[in-house]
Chain A
Amino acid sequence: MSTVTHEEKTPDMEEIHPHRRWYRRPSVVVPVVLVVIGYSILVSPLVREQNFFRPEVAADGGVTFDWNFFVHLFPLMLQGLVVTVKATLIGFLLAIVLGFFLALGRRSKRRLLSWPVTAVIEFIRSTPLLVQLFFWQALVRASEGITLEPITILALGLGIHYATYCSEAYRAGINSVDKGQWEAATALNLGPVTSWTRVAIPQAVPNVLPALGNYLIAGFKDAPMGVAVNAHGLLFFADQVRNDTFRATEPYLIAGVGFLLVSLPAAWLVRRLEKRISYERV
């Protein structure tokens, strides 16, 4: 019979994690910082909008698929992709801010506020983004003194469209905070501002994050619609190459490839985030 040493009795120190807030854990902070850096690079004026896309390599005359042409379209495609991503990110920034206020408006106890907000959310949610983009473009053209670039209109349209989706996510997140938490905040004599910022939001945010990530990806998938308002993104690139070279197959297929290059890793990241957060909540 072996004697039980002191070391064996103590629990494995590796397994005990001191409780840290989600925003103080390196596994969360590092990706967030990376995303912020990437974001600022993309949004900075360093990335210029390309006005025309002209392939340097001409395809041979045949109708068959030309791999050489396909590969040489890649750098041009990346330029279009960057514009699309940029519009998505700016639009989504608008969406997450505006969406929060829409959610607050919808939850308001004053019907004079909550009913119109609900109507607007439902209206925007169930109409096509493409028509909305045309509407915003028409509105900008009709109003004097306001001129916006196509990419701004695209970001604006995307932002307003996805703000309504985000507001639903926020609403679900806020509703998922236990009622007892609000009662406890009242019992502790916390003001409305403190109980929102210190009690409700910190608990609601982890629930909302995966949904917001999914909407970011969905917004990215809708961003090529900017071709309708002449934003020089991914589909604009494909259209222009088709008009220049009379070859449709390669540009559209490479646009699809560029698309999956961004959206599949993004979807994987969101799924990881989802798993991590649900694991953390237990």
Chain B
Amino acid sequence: MESWLLSGSQYRLLLEASGTTLQILAYAFLLGIVLSLVVGIARLSERAWVRGLALVFVEFARGISSIILLFIVAIAIPILFGAEQAPLILLSAIALGINMGGYGAEIIRGGIQAVPKGQTEASISLNLGPAQRLRHVVLPQALTIILPPMGNLTIEILKGTALVSLVGMTDIMQMARNIRQQQLADAVGTQPVLFLNVLVLYFILAQVINLLFKVAEAWLAKRYEGGPALTGTELEAIR
């Protein structure tokens, strides 16, 4: 192990591949956030069948491993339904998004339940509808509780994106294996050093996500600290 670094062109390849990784992460994150909002709120619904359905989804998404789900969604389902041409990136993002939705729903449910009940009662007495209640009163307060675990969950999904190399996408992980083939052909470099560099790349990405969520938390704390909770336009919207 004479050198701890890779060559410049290899780093460029890895950075290009991290574009794919981040793309999958972005799609999965969007789908995951939407799913977790919908399912998390559905788990607190007054109707029993909605609650039951949401519980089934959460138990399924959390009970099955993301890797098996990925194989089922990206390989088994397209063959079963004959949709061979579906873009792999979308299928992988769907699998990861379902996985994230299961965990995220529980986070959002916990956040909503942590908001004191008096807030809901006060907003009922102010004649706010269920949607307004959620949008203007409960969710903003729940957000401070939701954000930190959501950041951790996003890092978990970033780690999950490494799995898409197993279904044939060229993300960071697959690019590392390609580079390894190149290294073998050229007889330069060692495998541990290569994968150590890949690990560091993932670590940096995770820290960036961490930082973004920290910034969001700080912004949120400033936004809801003292003063009127709603801006003029928001007050207008409620009226």
Query: Which listed residue, B64, B166, B176, B206, touches A256 by the CB 8 Å rule?
Result: B64
Query: Which listed residue, B82, B173, B195, touches A138 by the CB 8 Å rule?
Result: B195
Contacts of B177 in A (CB 8 A): 134
Instruction: Considering the complex, give the chain B residue whose CB is closest to the CB of A122.
Output: B203
Contacts of B139 in A (CB 8 A): none
Instruction: Considering the complex, give the chain B residue whose CB is closest to the CB of A239.
Output: B71
Given contacts A138-B192, A139-B192, contact A126 B68 (CB under 8 A): no
Q: Are A142 and B207 in contact (CB under 8 A)?
A: no
How far does the Cβ of A242 sit from chain B's closest Cβ, in whole Å? 8
Contacts of B140 in A (CB 8 A): none
Contacts of A225 in B (CB 8 A): 67, 163
Does B65 interact with chain A (Cβ within 8 Å)? yes
Does A267 interact with chain B (Cβ within 8 Å)? yes
Q: Which stretch from A23-31, A95-103, A105-113, A245-253 is at the chain B interface?
A: A245-253
Complex CA–CA separation, A139 to B199 (angstroms)? 14
Q: Are A259 and B64 in contact (CB under 8 A)?
A: yes
Complex CA–CA separation, A228 to B195 (angstroms)? 14
Complex CA–CA separation, A65 to B198 (angstroms)? 40
How far does the Cβ of A236 sit from chain B's closest Cβ, in whole Å? 12
Complex CA–CA separation, A139 to B75 (angstroms)? 31
Q: Is the interface of A mostly helix, strand, loop or mixed?
A: helix
Contacts of A132 in B (CB 8 A): 199
With an 8 Å Cβ cutoff, the count of chain A residues facing the other chain is: 39
Complex CA–CA separation, A129 to B59 (angstroms)? 23
Does B136 interact with chain A (Cβ within 8 Å)? no
How far does the Cβ of B187 sit from chain A's closest Cβ, in whole Å? 14
Contacts of B155 in A (CB 8 A): 126
Q: Are B173 and A248 in contact (CB under 8 A)?
A: no
Q: Are A256 and B69 in contact (CB under 8 A)?
A: yes
Query: Which listed residue, B60, B67, B79, B210, touches A249 by the CB 8 Å rule?
Result: B79
How far does the Cβ of A116 sit from chain B's closest Cβ, in whole Å? 15
Given contacts A63-B79, A141-B191, contact A234 B202 (CB under 8 A): no
Q: Are A224 and B68 in contact (CB under 8 A)?
A: yes
Complex CA–CA separation, A65 to B155 (angstroms)? 36
Most chain-B CB neighbours within 10 Å: which of A132, A221, A253? Answer: A221
Q: Are B63 and A260 in contact (CB under 8 A)?
A: yes
Instruction: Considering the complex, give the chain B residue whose CB is closest to the CB of A238.
Output: B71
Interface string of A123-161 (1 = CB under 8 A from B): 100111111101100110110000000000000000000
Does A255 interact with chain B (Cβ within 8 Å)? yes
Does B18 interact with chain A (Cβ within 8 Å)? no
Q: Are B195 and A127 in contact (CB under 8 A)?
A: no
Q: Are A142 and B63 in contact (CB under 8 A)?
A: no
Q: Are B72 and A252 in contact (CB under 8 A)?
A: yes
Instruction: Considering the complex, give the chain A residue whose CB is closest to the CB of B199.
Output: A127
Does A235 interact with chain B (Cβ within 8 Å)? yes
Q: Are A128 and B162 in contact (CB under 8 A)?
A: yes
Q: Are A130 and B173 in contact (CB under 8 A)?
A: yes
Does B36 interact with chain A (Cβ within 8 Å)? no
Contacts of B86 in A (CB 8 A): none
Q: Are A264 and B202 in contact (CB under 8 A)?
A: no
Contacts of A267 in B (CB 8 A): 59, 62-63
4 pairs of A and B residues whose beta carbons are closest in the complex: A138-B191, A128-B162, A126-B206, A221-B65
A-B contact pairs, 20 of them (CB 8 A): A123-B203, A126-B155, A126-B202, A126-B203, A127-B203, A130-B163, A131-B176, A131-B195, A135-B195, A135-B196, A138-B190, A220-B65, A221-B67, A227-B166, A248-B76, A249-B79, A259-B68, A260-B64, A263-B64, A264-B63
User: Which residues of A does B touch, CB under 8 Å?
Assistant: 63, 65, 123, 126-132, 134-135, 138-139, 141-142, 220-225, 227-228, 234-235, 238, 242, 248-249, 252-253, 255-256, 259-260, 263-264, 267
